[in-house]
Structure formats: structure tokens, C-alpha cells
Amino acid sequence: MKFAFRSARRFYVALLVFLFAVTVIGPTALRGQEKVDYNAQEKPIYDQIKSLRSLPDDVRARTTKEIALEIRGLPSTLNKLRLAQYLANRATEGDFGHETLQEVATTLAGAVKQAPADGASKVIASAYDELAQLVRYEHVKVSLSSPQFREVMAKLHAEDERRQQVNFTLTDLDGKTWTLKDLKGKVVLVNFWATWCPPCQKEMPDLEALYTRFKEQGFVVLAISEDDETEKVGPFISERKVSFPVLLDPGQKVNNLFAVEGIPKSFVYNRDGELVAQSIDMRTQKQFLEMLAQAGLQ
């Protein structure tokens, strides 16, 4: 699931709300601040999705496809759409195969089409956004041509155009200043992450391995933390023996320039300073290598 909290403070607030729900509300699931009551047919599916991270990758891929098919069999309600989107969030956390993502996207597209006309607009809008990202960045195919879907696809295209022109200057934990446009001639991977984000933590060793492998070929990783405090980020990075630059983004100004709504998220620029690849979630080392290959690094 992509972490869309804007700061660690918001994360802890959401955590407290969740714990309240578990202890007081009982069999009720929360998405952000929203209380969702799942019925006896829906709740086991929700629990399965929630537990996907505990599974080995091969089992997780198979289970994800099975859940996608199970969701398709549910009645056409807003909860069906919520479950389909929750599954889509989890399905991009790594490499579970294009076939798995296609099944998930097909399920989400079907749930969007079937969503009640009087359903919650925020839920439907969020589902369209999730689906559009799958289509644009994960290259799945869906049969959907509604005006709302076309609008979201156009919005993603516009965001990518802006990211192509983005420049920023930030300071790393050692006090060194980095400016994106000054790195022309190098392959640059900009990674947004946070100490409290499990998928961010999971991909960090792969980023470190790739940085060690390619840094002599002009490869630069700029890891922009959503945590504001050096006292928190410094020990975290030191403990994991991370050697690539870790930058702080006060006020999350650079985060906003890139229109980052969920983390982890990565962008790759080639030696000409062109944005050539990006991820919408956690990547494996193999997936990162595929992104770097698009920048001519292999």
C-alpha cells in the first residue's frame, strides 16, 4: 500500500485512529479517517489483503490473483470498490508479475464501472486515480473510456510534463548541497521515502547495492526524506549503512513539486536531464535495473 501521509505526525495520528478502531469499533476497517463497515462476506477479503505483506513473494502473487477474482464476485457496492483499490495498492509493492497486476487492474476497472451512482465521490475519484496510474506506469490494459478516467489520465500526463522541468536544491545529512539540474551528465534517481514507511525500508538495501555498483559510472541517488528531523533520519541511515546522499525537504516543497501523493516513489533522469522512468511504489532490484536501463545504465 502506498503511504500517502504528508508527515510522520500525520502517520501517528492515523495510527492512533486505527488503534481506536481495533479496540473500540471491532470489525470495522479504516482507510485514512474514514470508517468502513465490512459485512461478513467482505471482512475476510479485507483481512486477506491486509496480511499480504507477510507472505513470500511467489505465494503473494498467487494469493493476490485469487483475491482479485474473489472481489469480482461481490455485489456491486462501494465496499467492493474499496476492496479492489486496497488490493491495487498492495499489488504494486514489488514485482509480482504483469499478469497479477493485470488481474488486479481488471478487477478495479470492473468495480469502478459498477460503483453506485450515489456512491461517495472521494472513493470513486481515488479509485480512478489508482487505475490511471496502473495504466500509465504499470502498462496494464483496461476497458474504460469514461470522461472522468480520461481527465485523470490527462492530469497524470500534465504532472509528468511538470516533473520534466523540475529543479530543486536541498542539503544532505552531511551538509552538502545538491541541485538536480547541476547533475546533468549523470544518471540520477530521485527517491521519496520516510523512516516510518515499511516498503521504503524494504527497497533501501537494493538502492544501496545499485548505488555501490554504478556510482563510478556516474550514478547518483538522491533520497529525499519526508521526515523533518536530522536527529531521526541520521541514526536510521547510519544503522542501515546507507552511503548515498539522504536529503531533507523542509516543508515538503520538493515533494509538492513532484506531486508525490504516496511513498516510496522514484524518478530516473538520464544524462541529458530527461525524465525517462518512474515508479508508483516500492521496486525490487530487478525493477530498478529496468528503470536504469531506460537511462542507458546497465
Residues 135-179 have pLDDT tens digits of 999 999 999 989 999 999 999 999 999 999 999 999 999 999 999
257 pLDDT more than 80: yes
pLDDT of 30 reads 34
pLDDT of 2 reads 55
Distance CA 72, CA 182 (A): 49
21 pLDDT more than 50: no
Distance CA 82, CA 115 (A): 10
pLDDT of 28 reads 33
Confidence band of 34 (pLDDT split at 50, 70, 90): low
**Burial level of 98, CB count in 10 A (0-12/13-18/19+)?**
exposed
Task: Kindly give, in sequence order, each residue whose CB lies less than 8 Å from that of residue 74, ignoring residues fewer than 6 positions away.
Answer: 41, 42, 45, 80, 83
pLDDT of 227 reads 82
Q: How many CB atoms lie within 10 A of CB 286?
A: 10
Domain ranges in the chain? 38-159, 166-293
Q: Quote the pTM value.
A: 0.83
Residues 45-60 have pLDDT tens digits of 999 999 999 999 999 9
Residues 118-136 have pLDDT tens digits of 778 999 999 999 999 999 9
19 pLDDT more than 70: no
For domain 166-293, give the fold: Glutaredoxin (3.40.30)
pLDDT of 11 reads 42
Please, what is the average pLDDT of the chain? 89
Three-state SS for 58?
Answer: helix
Instruction: Tell me how far apart the terminal alpha carbons of the chain are, to the nearest angstrom.
Output: 29
Residues 270-296 have pLDDT tens digits of 999 999 999 999 999 999 999 999 999
Distance CA 186, CA 219 (A): 6
- Under 8 Å between Cβ of 266 and 205: no
